[in-house]
Chains A and B, each alone.
Chain A
Amino acid sequence: MALIAQLIFSLLTGIALFLFAKNLLAIRRNILIGRDFELTDQPGKRWKNVLLLAFGQKKMFRNPLVAILHLFVYVGFIIINIELLEIIVDGITGSHRAFAPYLGPFYDFIINCFEVLATLVLIACVIFFSRRNIIRLKRFISKDLNGWPRSDANTILIIEVVLMSLFLIMNAADPASNFLISSHLKGLLQGFSEAQLSMLEHSAWWIHILGIYAFMNYLPYSKHLHIILAFPNAYYASLLPKGEMHNMVSIQNEVLYAMQPELAPTDAAAPEKFGAKDVMDLSWKNLMDAYSCTECGRCSTACPANSTGKLLSPRKIMMSTRDRLEAVGKNIDKNKQFVEDGKSLLHDYISVEELRACTTCNACVEECPVSISPLDIILELRRSLIMEESNAPAEWNGMFSNIENNFAPWKFSPDDRDAWTAQ
């Protein structure tokens, strides 16, 4: 009987890990649909970003109270995963608390720490849940989150509360245990017989570990994927000053050859597509950004356009990019390669009105705790709108022609440029 349990456990562990790896590879494949883009220079600065932004959660501390709650969940998550090792060893070998004999009194100390952390995670998740559903913070009731995204957020919190509770119940039901938090729960189990306690401990153990496997395989479909991608996303974050836009070398050369035809190579290739119309025109980093977004909405709260009622929401830009990328990924799964589906990120997922509202102020980029740039995507889509579709408001067309003819965005005579010296 015990052997069967061990076999079932090993099999389930294998299946869970296999599915998880498969899903991660699918996400990697989707990210690499994006354009190639070099982001490996200055490794020292990049590792520093990983330490400060991902491990250190520096940006979260712009709001210290929430940062501390989030830190509980984050540290709790990482450290309690160490306990997972023991659980897996127990499951495969049929042992009970396999590490205890080796660690002696230190074992109790570690489990006590895990229990304290589990309790802190539990409390933080309950607070987070009420911020979303009772206090109803503006960024959480935003229409960006209608439907699946809102239930996704609540599902994650509920799963975490359940998992932490199971961990504590499991310890409380172990008659030999006397740990810091779970010992206080023993009172609730007083009427239980030894067999019932054992049953409870085993059930909690099984549901806990199966819950973790299920959660692991829920991640790739969820906003919660940020717990993995926040790290590479910090490493590959842009190191340029925020004000610097990416140069378009193809256009730079085209202008150069127009001005100095003698420099033009005879075999000049026709320039590629300008800007981004769809996800494959964005860089792989833009696409990894989309998968890293946990839809917290700090960007949209800080966005001057969004906070004054415009249609633009940087969070929604990221969510739309991921939605489109998922659709393109499914299209590839089905047809072996991408088959034109009559849709594109621009227009079908992100509207012109949204793009037009951006002031390029970088508030969204500054706020993002996981180094996402919604602005980069907005600017690439704007390039496509103007250069591929000549789609500009009349005032902008006026501005362009003024710059071309008068060298200033307004219709003044270039001869009056120094008129201010005469006054």
Chain B
Amino acid sequence: MKVSTMAEFMARGEQPEVLFWVGCAGSFDQRAQKITQAFATILDKAGVRYAILGKEEACTGDPARRAGNEFMFQMMAYQNIQILNGYEIKKIVTTCPHCFNTLKNEYPALGGVYDVIHHTTFLQELIEQGKIKFTDSNEWKGKSITYHDSCYLGRANEIYEAPRKVLESLDMELREMKRCKSKGLCCGAGGAQMFKEEEKGDKRINTERADEAIETKADYVASACPFCNTMMTDGIKNRDTEVQTEVLDIAEIIAKAIQ
């Protein structure tokens, strides 16, 4: 697919409506790449003029900061803010709640002030504005789904409704897990846990959460974070239920239903 970079926009003397911040998982992780592609497809179909930084994008520094390595975080932030400010970026959309949180809440103090929006909120807006239209016979209609709240979207930034509204707009039956919204249980990936082995305990966190998802007997599990997606997929795999419930990002669900 053809996606323009900021450098290309600049060469043409144009500004995009929004910068799509892809994030490290979305760029490199094979599973998350599919989410990135799905979201890019939606942006194309909805007629949004967007750009990516491409090779100029770098880790926001979130996992380093949460592990305790403030130096590494500040170095990455400095570098990213130089590039973003250089391109005079105003608005950023991202498919990763960790990038979202860092860009939105932590870069302003360092001189990087942007209007940052998570892709679930962006999708909700596009649907409300009528820019996203669904096919009449979309495959999701009537299917049940349970939405797993990402901590960095939910508690960290109090975004609980946007992803749910998007799913409801597809006439899906939303089933809540025992712990949801502000009480949602973490998938186990945050705070740089994604990049190390879990400490010893009597159960893995993602197994605990997968059990709650399986308990809803929903046809699908929805996620809005590439790390949650990995953790939930692994957790469900470990449980080896007869039919393995598929974990899909909100963007992937929309991409399959869009006209």
Binding site for B on A (CB under 8 A): 62, 240-245, 247-248, 251-252, 254-256, 259, 274-275, 302, 304-305, 307-312, 353, 356-363, 365-366, 379, 382-387, 392-393, 395-396, 398-400, 403-404, 407-410, 412, 414-421, 423
Contacts and interface: CB of A to CB of B under 8 A. Distances in A.
Given A310-B200, A420-B27, 14 more contacts: A241-B157, A247-B106, A304-B185, A359-B190, A363-B185, A379-B68, A396-B67, A399-B64, A400-B72, A409-B194, A410-B29, A418-B5, A420-B22, A421-B3
B219 interface: no
Contact of B1 (A407, A410, A421): A421
Contacts of B190: 359-361
Contacts of A382: 66-68
B37 A423 contact: yes
Contacts of B101: 241, 243-244
B199 A379 contact: no
A245 B54 contact: no
B61 A255 contact: no
- Identify the interface centre among B58, B65, B68: most chain A CB within 10 Å of its CB: B68
Contacts of A414: 55, 58
Nearest to A312: B199
A241 B201 contact: no
B58 to A, nearest CB: 4
5 contacts: A255-B74, A311-B199, A359-B193, A387-B69, A403-B76
A395 B188 CA distance: 16
Contacts of B166: none
A361 B190 CA distance: 7
Contacts of B188: 304, 359
A312 B185 CA distance: 16
Contacts of B3: 418, 421
Nearest to A352: B199
A241 B78 contact: no
Contact of B2 (A244, A302, A421): A421
Contacts of B157: 241-243
Contacts of A309: 200-203
A358 B78 contact: no
Given A310-B199, A403-B59, A420-B36, A361 B186 contact: yes
Contact of B68 (A240, A385, A398): A385
Interface in B83-139: 101, 104-106, 109-110
A58 B74 CA distance: 37
A418 B6 CA distance: 12
Interface in B33-70: 33, 36-37, 40, 52, 54-55, 57-59, 61, 63-70
Contacts of A310: 198-201
A241 B105 contact: yes
A347 B155 CA distance: 29
A245 B200 contact: no
Contacts of A241: 101, 104-105, 156-158
Contact of A245 (B29, B36, B66, B203): B66
B109 A409 contact: no
Interface in B152-200: 152, 155-158, 182-183, 185-186, 188-200
B151 interface: yes
Contact of A386 (B68, B182, B191, B193): B68
Contacts of A365: 155
A242 B186 CA distance: 15
Given A275-B68, A383-B68, A418-B5, A308 B202 contact: yes
A396 B68 CA distance: 10
Given A245-B66, A248-B70, A311-B199, A255 B27 contact: no
B109 A247 contact: yes
Contacts of B109: 247, 252
Nearest to A357: B199
B257 interface: no
A399 B199 contact: no
A181 B42 CA distance: 69
A366 B196 CA distance: 25
Given A379-B68, A399-B195, A403-B76, A408 B58 contact: yes
B226 interface: no
- Identify the interface centre among B5, B28, B190: most chain A CB within 10 Å of its CB: B28
B258 interface: no
Nearest to A240: B105
Contacts of A251: 70-71, 74
Given A244-B101, A304-B185, A304-B188, A387 B27 contact: no
A271 to B, nearest CB: 10
Contacts of A245: 65-66, 106
Nearest to A381: B68
A383 B2 contact: no
Contacts of B29: 410
A384 B195 CA distance: 19
Nearest to B35: A420
A373 B58 CA distance: 30
Please list the 5 inter-chain residue pairs (A to B) with the smallest Cβ-Cβ separation, ordered nearest first.
A243-B156, A360-B191, A309-B202, A386-B68, A309-B201
Contact of A415 (B55, B106, B191): B55
A252 B76 CA distance: 11
- Identify the interface centre among B36, B69, B195: most chain A CB within 10 Å of its CB: B69
B10 interface: no
Nearest to B32: A420
Contacts of B67: 382, 386, 392, 396, 399-400
A255 B109 CA distance: 14
A302 B54 CA distance: 39
B24 interface: yes
Given A243-B105, A256-B78, A410-B28, A396 B196 contact: yes
A247 B78 CA distance: 13
B2 A255 contact: no
A259 B208 contact: no
